[in-house]
Amino acid sequence: MQSFRTELENPIVEQDIIDLEKKIRAFREGKIHDEKFRSLRLARGVYGQRQQGVQMVRIKLPFGKITFKQLLRISDVSDEYASRNLHLTTRQDIQIHYVSLDRTPQLWAELERDDITLREACGNTVRNVTASPTAGIDPLEPFDVSPYAHATFEYFLRNPICQDMGRKFKISFSSSDQDTAFAYVHDIGAIPKIKENGDRGFKIFLGGGLGAQPMLAHLVEEFLPEDQLIPYIESIIRVFDRYGERNNRNKARLKFLIQKIGLDEVVRLAKEERTANKVKTYVVNRDTIDLPVLPQTTEYPEVTISNPLRYEQWLATNVFEQKQKDFYGVYIKVPVGDIPTDTARKLVDILRPLVADEIRITQNQGLLLKFVRKEALPALYNGLTELDLSAPGFDSPADVTTCPGTDTCNLGISNSMTLSKVLEDLIYNEYEEFIYNREIKIKISGCMNSCGQHGLAHIGFHGSSLKAGTRVLPSVQVLLGGGTVGDGIGRAADKVVKVPAKRATDVLRAVLDDFKANSIADETFHNYYDRQGKDYFYQLLKPLANLATLTEDEFVDWGHQETFATAIGVGECASVIIDLVATLLYESDEKMGWANKAYENGAWADAIYHSYNVFITSAKALLLDKSISSSTQAGIIREFDAHYVDKGEFAIDGSFSDLILQINKNEPSHEFAAKYKAAAEEFLGASKVKRGELV
């Protein structure tokens, strides 16, 4: 622990790491319940793996930005603490696997030396804020959204309003109307707009999401001025925290709250919360994200391209002109998103003299390099070829997005990583012309939860199982017709048919062959799919679902040798609330301490929200003593009045609702913070007394 104190410059981060170490120790000593500890570690980026006794650690990289130095630091950490591999995710994070729980505090400390955090990479928090990887160099962008994504990340990191929500919350920023950050499937999606007078703002979409029940986001603001962006997001999160579902995690996303009470009501409640917001306007510093350090080399030695055709394909599919004159962006297609650490180091050595010191992780698990001069492209291609990273067809059907599936995920049903490689090989070997197609996306998830984005794929697959007699075999649900339309409009893919997993290759062949034979000249896949209709594709693929023709090989999943068996663990996409009275009152004490500390630091809004959580957690504890469970914070407030205040069992001047909901009727001033915090402290004390009477 001493090393944390002496080596880390940021005292807040230092305390985070010390707290994690203490929580791990308390968990090992049996002082923290397993389910409660799960929520604590998830909020610190530590996620259970399919393999017992080891963890996946998710590293939070806002909008996918990473420097050479940071990439090397993560590689060193993976060598020391994990499996010498880096996995790029669809949320623009990096994950490392097979980490010992007890070593995660030291691992975090090592990462923080280069300003890399684990905080809130998992759990019921604001997850990694994503953005179009091309932001800053996109020829079509009205302005660079990177500073706004960064400001959003900074504002909500450790923010009391989003530390223990009912479920995760996802925010994206697209660089242009092409919507390459998928605004339509995010809790909040933002697309930049600029008025004729030069004013900046965002088109805002609310309540989208993928998962087992995909829903498309609602347009709520045609033009939200830039200084209103952060306050608007804060108001929405406050509503989600208070009214969102907390017991049934399958119904706990913002999209379900909108479905339950209506979009208009969510927007109305958000307006009520504006009074309590920490800020009423928030001017984003547009210069936060510096121009990356450009390569100093301007003259390059001549190189020989061994495969000119492959090089021309690479130029056509992986390279584009930036908005900055004389510079190019270059995409790297990373198979299944995995980069061994030794490859990452060699990659940095190759890139240093040729590209800017800023890499962006893409939503399809690749990399984007910036500020490459035309004269450097041959040398860059040769260097990437040495590392097997120069495959053409970035973001084409030959670039399949996939989650880890059964390789490491608890929820994986069938293998997605190997299937992804098999389908990519099929495209290169049998449908090479499709490497130039940037419209059709193929995406795979190991289960229905859409971590591999199958819900927004033109051709999607998710892991499942089928029963044939007394035996079970790996299967895939086939989905068609999803994808981005543009400017916040998108499509959720239709479930068409379920087939044995080993027949996924035949599914892809059937769909692509039919598209080649029956699409009209220059027809998009969406138009082709709509014209033919869902039933047409069901009939096309139905023979592949016939289990009467099964072979023994089809009972073995891709990448496996043993016969398939379903083995699904407990998902950890969000923390699990544990309803133990003593634990909840302990939490109230801890939150009271946070309120006092925030107050001492002059952070009035933070002190107020921590105090609000003291009220909620204490009331929940007493309700549980009567076996009363409410699935929302609003429900807890209502039930506490009904079962304690109205019955005269708990003395309050007025109602509990009036007391606690002062929070959204008062400005976050010094005076109100002091008054509200004192009331929370008094309520906590009375709750402990009442608890003593009930025991």
Q: What is the 3-state secondary structure (H, E, C) of 299-347?
A: CCCCCCCCCHHHHHHHHHHHEEECCCCCCEEEEECCHHHEEEHHHHHHH
Query: Does residue 310 have a pLDDT over 80?
Result: yes
Residue 350 corresponds to which tokens in the numbers above? 């190759």
Bigger pLDDT: 641 or 412?
641
pLDDT at residue 49 above 80?
yes
- Nearest to residue 82, comparing CAs of 284, 278, 331, 338? 338
What does the pLDDT read at residue 617?
Answer: 96
> Pick the residue with more confidence: 158 or 573?
158
pLDDT reported for residue 572: 53
Mean pLDDT along residues 267-276 = 97
* pLDDT beyond 50 at 579: no
Residue-level pLDDT at 5? 46
In this predicted structure, the answer to whether residue 109 has a pLDDT above a threshold of 70 is yes
Question: What pLDDT does 574 receive?
Answer: 43
Give me the chain's average pLDDT, please: 93
Question: ∠ CA 195-201-204 to the nearest 5 degrees?
Answer: 125
What pLDDT score does 12 carry? 87
* pLDDT at residue number 668: 97
Supply φ then ψ for residue 637, to 5 degrees. Answer: -60, -45
Residues 169/185, Cβ–Cβ less than 8 Å: no
In this structure, of 32-41, 323-332, 439-448, 586-595, the range with the lowest mean pLDDT score is 32-41
Across 115-124, 346-355, 369-378, 527-536, least confident range: 115-124
Encoded amino acid at 363, one letter: Q
Q: Which segment of 124-128, 220-224, 474-478, 558-562 scores lowest on mean pLDDT?
A: 558-562
Distance CA 41, CA 262 (A): 33
pLDDT beyond 50 at 658: yes
For β-strands 200-206 and 218-225, DSSP reports them as: antiparallel
- The secondary structure element, H or E, covering residue 22 is helix 11-28
Q: Looking at 400-559, which runs of residues are DSSP E strands?
A: 401-402, 442-445, 459-468, 471-480, 483-486, 489-491, 494-500
pLDDT score recorded for residue 398: 98
Crossing angle for the helix pair 633-640 and 229-243, to the nearest 10 degrees: 50
DSSP assigned state of 293: P
Which two structure tokens, joined as six digits, stand for 351?
Answer: 């890139």
Q: Count Cβ atoms within 10 A of the Cβ of residue 375 and give its class: 0-12 exposed, 13-18 middle, 19 or more buried.
A: middle
| Closest among 108, 86, 118 to 359, alpha carbons compared | 86
Q: What tokens appear for 527 in the block?
A: 């138009």
Residue 155: strand pairing partners: none
Average the pLDDT over 218-244 and give the result. Answer: 98
**Calpha distance 137→630 (Å, rounded):** 48
Q: Which of 83, 62, 73 minimizes the C-alpha distance to 111?
A: 73
Share of residues in the chain with pLDDT > 90 (%): 82
Q: Domains in the chain, please, with CATH?
A: 2-112 (3.90.480.20), 130-276 (3.30.413.10), 308-386 (3.30.70.3340), 401-555 (3.30.413.10), 581-694 (1.20.120.330)
Whether 376 shows a pLDDT value over 90: the answer reads: yes
Evaluate whether 205 touches 188 at the Cβ level (below 8 Å). yes
User: Could you give the 3-state DSSP secondary structure of residue 484?
Assistant: strand
Burial 239-272 (b: 16+ CB within 10 A, else e): bbbbbbbbeebebbbbbbbbeeeeeeebbebbee
Q: Does 411 or 201 have the greater pLDDT score?
A: 201
- Look at residue 2 in the predicted model and tell me its pLDDT: 43
| Among 46-60, 328-342, 457-471, the least confident range | 46-60
Strand-pairing partners, residue 563, are 556
Average pLDDT over residues 264-271: 98
Q: How far is CA 183 from CA 179, 351, 439, 510, in A?
A: 6, 31, 17, 31
Closest CA to 620 of 681, 691, 553, 554: 691
Cα distances (angstroms) measured from residue 72 to each of 78, 248, 272, 291: 10, 41, 46, 20
Kindly tell me if the per-residue pLDDT of 309 is higher than 70: yes
Measured CA to CA, the distance from residue 107 to residue 690 in angstroms comes to 43
pLDDT at site 577: 38
Structure confidence at residue 1 as a pLDDT band (50, 70, 90): very low
Sign of torsion, CA 320 321 323 329?
A: positive
- Stated as kind and residue range, the H or E segment containing 34 is helix 34-42
pLDDT band at 695 (very low <50, low <70, confident <90, very high): low
**pLDDT band with cut points at 50, 70 and 90 for residue 15:** confident
Structure confidence at residue 415 as a pLDDT band (50, 70, 90): confident
Compute CA 634 distance to the chain's CA centroid, rounded to the nearest angstrom: 27
Going by the DSSP 8-state scheme, the letter that residue 163 receives in this structure is S
Which pLDDT band, with edges at 50, 70 and 90, does 317 fall under?
very high
- Give CA–CA dist 190/193, Å, rounded: 9
Angstrom distance (rounded) from CA 459 to CA 479: 6
* Listed residue (601, 605, 643) closest to 625, CA to CA: 643
Binned at pLDDT 50, 70 and 90, residue 6 comes out as: very low
Q: Does the pLDDT at position 243 exceed 60?
A: yes
Helix (H, G, I), strand (E, B), or coil: what is residue 175? coil
- Per-residue model confidence (pLDDT) at position 566: 63
The pLDDT value given to residue 411: 75
Chain position carrying tokens 């495959």: 391
When pLDDT is cut at 50, 70 and 90, the band that residue 567 belongs to is low
